[in-house]
Chains A and B, each alone.
Chain A
Amino acid sequence: MNRNVIIALLLGFGLLTAITVLDLLGSALDTDLLPFLSDRLTATITGIVLAVGLSALIFIGANKLFNLAESHFVVFFAVIGGVLTLALFGLLWGNQLIVSPVVVILIATLIGTATGFGLGVVRDRWQRLGVGLAGGLALGLLTGSAIRSTAWPSIDALAVVIGLAVGAVIALLSWQLTRRRVALLPLLFFWLALGWLWGAWLAADLTGSKAEASVAAVVLGLLLGAWAGTVAYPDPSAKKQIALGSRKYIFLAPALLFVVATLVIPLSRTIWLGFLTGTPRNLEWTGLSNYADIFSDPNVLDLSNWADVFTSRLFWGAVVLVLIGLGIGTWVGRTSGSGLGSFSVSAGTLSFIAGGVILVGFAVFTVIRGTISNNLWWIFSVTLFAVGAGLAIAVLADRSKGENIAKSLIFLPMAISFVGASIIWRFMYIARPPQNDQTGVLNSLWVQIGEWSASDSASVVIAVIMGVVILGLAYLAWRGFSAGNNSVLGGSIALILPLVWLIYRFLGPGIGGVIVDPVTGEVMANPVLFLTESPWNNWWMMVVFIWIQTGFAMVIFSAAIKAVPDELLEAARIDGATESQAFWRVTVPQIAPTIGVVATTLIVTVLKVFDIPKVMTNGNFDTQVLANEMWQRAFTELDFGLGSALAVVLFLGVLPIMYLNIRRMQQQRA
């Protein structure tokens, strides 16, 4: 025998054995029949080997099998017969319709294999029909005797006639539709079989006798046998077509099966469940009331304080920043005459405007509260900060010393789980009672600063140090001014202003995490409760996410920056562009599409943020997000309807991004 045939046969039997072993293993582990497997390590390894081996067997087996279609048609057909019968009876078993399933399935598979073998050998039309009918009869008898009494149909003649008639009509119609290119008989028998199945079994009451069950099964078997028997024996080119044409199905079927079973069907079912209400076992139609509940709940979206946006300091700070940014941009654009029109886009103007946008966002999200507002705040901050920081670090690190070490340390949090990161940051945010030492880095620093500002001598020392730094910066600003270098000038002034403010705070009203008793003058530590003080606790959790995702953005931007052709930059420099002009006019437009990709990827990731709020606050203290709300509703309160509706809201959130992604893919592939 050919080596491939042996392999194919071995694979087939291996598959069967593996399934049996897996099944036995499941029951054995419960009853502890196999003591050596109770060791967890062994069990883990066994599980891994079985799962991997099984999927490898199916893949390689299917390919080897269809390789046989051209060379060893008999074997191919035999295995196909066996596998089809196995699948069919497996379905019956799964529906718990047959008694002593293992024996019946083994016998059925043998019959199926034999029939397939026969059809692979015999070429004469009538003999083929005979083989098919014999196989069908045997399988029908087997089914009739093994079927459970709960599935004995009481055959209704009218339903049978209707079923057969409809089957015949469908067969004839589809034959016409294919312009009679396919053989009529197999088509007819196949649809008659389905019509019989419907009429005699599915449409019938399951209150019949064993005789009726046998009749129903045998006729069904005969019709299916006739279908198999009337399929013409393939000529060599048809065999080749079987071997070639089947590949796309073999290669794609597992992937599509999984995608449909875990994404497409569950998605549709979740949409459906969103319209239901009740306990998991008793769900009833309720229309849009789940959605009405979601959007009328003040915990989900609370707009009542919206007017406070305009009284918040953040908002007016933002207005000032944007105005400064616009002013500088216009002024620089006018004087240098090299801007876009009369407006100069540079790091300075952009950082003012971006700072303004961020402040406006924070002003809005700290005033408008609720789950949806939290989610939007997450998307807003994480996307902006991760993209900004990632881009900045990628630029800073580009071609600097130790670039790779720096980049991998920044990227490192990407490898850490959200759970791990949440715990790491909980230790950063710890607030101990005021009388104890602070053990979290942030509160320790904050309280220390407070103590310095409360002590007269320390605050004077700090003010003097900062004064010296300001003098240095002023010198730099002057050098920048006399050299006509706006970025040096602007950068220095931008640093001087906050330092002046800090000196004022240190010498004047004080800064940092302490309370000074107005009467006794006693200094008490006043740590920030990072995770419990609403609304800013949301922001401190976003910091964790930004800490993780900046590495992602950085790596991608870094690759994109390195992909910008050197000739372009060189050409810009030769035309007299400064380094910063070359960056803003050449590099940024080149990597703009990448910024878009990173931003959309981040939005999708942030929208479904779950682990961090779950582990850090579990949605308490006004930090609820949609994904955690969905999880609590669905899996702790077992309200599948409301949980599904919340999941649908999440899904609606990603729809625009899906649309953008599809558009982008179509453009790339066009």
Chain B
Amino acid sequence: MTTKHKSEPLAARTAKPGGRPLGGRVYGFLRSIPTWVLWLLVIVWTIPTFGLFVNSFRTRDAQRNSGWWLAWQDNANGFDFPTIDNYSAVLGSEATGGLWNGMLNSASIAIVATIIPIAIAAFAAYAFAWIDFRGREILFIATVALLAVPTQVSLIPLLQAYATGVHFTLPILEKTVTIFPDLDLAGTIPAVWLTHTGFALPFAIFLLHNYIAGLPKDLFESARIDGADHFTIFWRLVVPLSLPVLAAFAIFQFLWTWNDYLIALTMIGGNREALPATVVVASLAGEFGLREHLLTAGAFVITLVPLIVFFALQRFFVRGVTAGSVKG
């Protein structure tokens, strides 16, 4: 077989020796198929979100009358379009939705549950990468292995701890010692902070460690020769150099905690005052049919913040998602 050069068209190279090559027009048609398929998929992927967006500006009756693709006929049919009534209702008082309160709670949960794990994990990742001590390897692998542990295994004991404290009955002596006092955390936002912080750490340490361990060794050696201690190195060198990965994790964790449903639902439970937006909207969804027209606006409101973060900081978010997986 003769060696073929790259610049020859695909059809020529895929031809069997002696066979007639595909014609230029057929070849061009075939060549364009992947792009068409790709954009078809993109449209399919976008339709659900787009439909919800359109519907959120339609009245209840309009939503029940026709599909969102017929929204342009709404005014002719006597419905108001576009209208922001759904939004004002769902963001307003408790009776109609109470989502504004939920948004504040979500912000409180997500901001704190992002900052604290970053700080803790950055310190730990630095220690695992650049401080020598016995058992470092095993400790690191053990910590990161916990990444796969499902949240569910911790929920019951943690809720018990928040509700009644942690008490340990000494064997034989029959005396109960309180290790963690009953702070009445169940049903409060701090309970969610603590839970998120703990659950985020294995992934955070893994992600930050990969990056921090890859920083050039000379940097640390010269800094140490200049007499810098670990804290100075960490604060003056590692943190500024790791800003991209810190940002990546921050965005990942912010979206994760903002979007979280399970932990908030479990730890806050019945305390309506402290519920984040996801739980508020999900409880609206529980009464499907009754206020489903509000659900469109509600779902879009809770999606709005992640969307803004996503489009503004996509580069970092993608890095956060990929950094852990490509070549470890």
Contact = CB atoms under 8 A, between A and B. Distances in A.
A579 B63 CA distance: 49
A250 B108 CA distance: 27
- Most B CB contacts (10 A, CB to CB) among A252, A436, A578 go to A252
Interface stretch (A227-235, A294-302, A412-420): A412-420
Nearest to B123: A251
B30 interface: yes
A610 B123 CA distance: 32
A203 B51 CA distance: 69
A559 B326 contact: yes
Nearest to A480: B22
A429 to B, nearest CB: 10
A500 interface: no
A552 B300 CA distance: 21
B67 A488 contact: no
Contacts of A482: 19-20
A61 B137 CA distance: 28
A594 B325 contact: yes
B321 A555 contact: yes
Interface string A578-598: 111000000000000110011
A376 interface: no
Contacts of B231: 63-64, 67, 247
Nearest to A440: B67
Contacts of A56: 119
B126 A251 contact: yes
A413 B45 contact: yes
A33 to B, nearest CB: 18
A51 B126 contact: no
A438 B67 contact: yes
A266 B158 CA distance: 7
Contacts of B120: 55, 254-255, 258
B154 A415 contact: no
Interface residues on B, range: 35 or more
Contact of B156 (A550, A559, A643): A643
Nearest to A265: B157
A468 interface: no
A75 interface: no
Contacts of B278: 417, 419-420
Contacts of A254: 120, 123-124
Interface in B3-50: 3-4, 6, 10-11, 13-16, 18-23, 26, 30, 34-35, 37-39, 41-42, 45-49
B247 interface: no
A651 B153 contact: yes
B258 interface: yes
B66 A437 contact: yes
A237 to B, nearest CB: 16
B52 A556 contact: no
Contact of B148 (A59, A401, A597, A654): A654
A415 B306 contact: yes
A185 interface: no
A95 B48 contact: no
Nearest to B183: A26
Contacts of A631: 152, 155, 262, 266
B285 A422 contact: yes
Interface of B: 1, 3-4, 6, 10-11, 13-16, 18-23, 26, 30, 34-35, 37-39, 41-42, 45-49, 51-52, 55, 63-69, 101, 104-105, 107-108, 111-112, 115-116, 119-121, 123-124, 126-128, 131, 133, 137, 139, 141, 143-161, 165, 170, 173, 175, 177-178, 180-181, 189-190, 193-195, 197-199, 201-202, 205, 229-231, 234, 255, 258-262, 266, 269, 278, 281-282, 285-286, 288, 295-296, 298-300, 302-303, 306-307, 309-311, 314, 317-318, 321-322, 325-328
5 contacts: A259-B146, A418-B259, A476-B26, A597-B326, A662-B145
Given A254-B120, A578-B13, A669-B137, 11 more contacts: A44-B108, A247-B229, A266-B154, A413-B45, A419-B299, A423-B281, A426-B295, A441-B69, A483-B21, A559-B322, A576-B13
